[in-house]
Amino acid sequence: MTAHLRVCFRLVVLGALGACARQGPSVTASPSADSTADSVAGIGLVDSARPSAVVAPDTIVGSPRTKQLAEISPRSNGELLRSGDLRQSLEDVRRLGIVTAFQEMYPGLLRLAIGEGFSERTSVAYNLRLLHRAYRKSFNYEGPGILELWRDDEKIGEYVGDGLLVGPEYSRPR
């Protein structure tokens, strides 16, 4: 047998063994399975002294690890706008001049550049509440969802589940 044919034969046998390992143990053994294992052992693919040399499929041990915020990349504005409710809320606050720009820093923190409508409109808290709900709905992170309010490169407040919080005590960026 040429070297090329031996390599092809080994790949076919390895593929068959991998498929068998994914299917799990069978209830009945056939005589052809034993002869296949012997022939595979003869070319050095399976250690006949250790019949358990076939690799079992990957399993999860324990509960899956959740990613930390630093490991989760923020979504682009285009990705944020794919959520219908969030797109509608962002369009509303932009149309009213409450918000001029937005950017997600990480899932759970949305920075908003506020416009002239922020101080002129009476419906600011209502519209930010709708935006907050839509933003929280748009991601699977279980945190509160924070809308940071920025004016001229300074944070002036934030909107969280407790409502609109404005003042010097809320000016520290998160």
Domains and CATH numbers, the chain: 3-53 (no CATH), 69-170 (3.30.300)
> Residue 139: its pLDDT value, please?
82
> How many CA atoms within 13 Å lie on the side-chain side of 129?
7
Cα separation of 112 and 147, whole Å? 7
Q: Does residue 115 contact residue 148 with C-beta atoms inside 8 Å?
A: no
**Residues 57-114: tens digit of each pLDDT:** 555 566 655 656 556 688 899 999 998 999 999 999 999 999 999 999 988 899 999 9
**Residues 14-69: tens digit of each pLDDT:** 454 444 444 544 444 444 444 444 444 444 444 445 555 555 555 556 665 565 65
DSSP letters for 14-59: HHHHHHHHHH---SS--HHHHHHHHHHHHTTSS-TT-GGGSPPPP-
Secondary structure element (H or E) that encloses residue 164, with its range: strand 163-166
> What pTM was estimated for this model as a whole?
0.59
**Residues 128-164: tens digit of each pLDDT:** 999 999 999 988 666 779 999 999 999 999 999 889 9
Long-range contact set of residues 140-144: C-beta below 8 Å, sequence gap at least 24: 140/107, 141/72, 141/107, 141/108, 143/108, 144/108
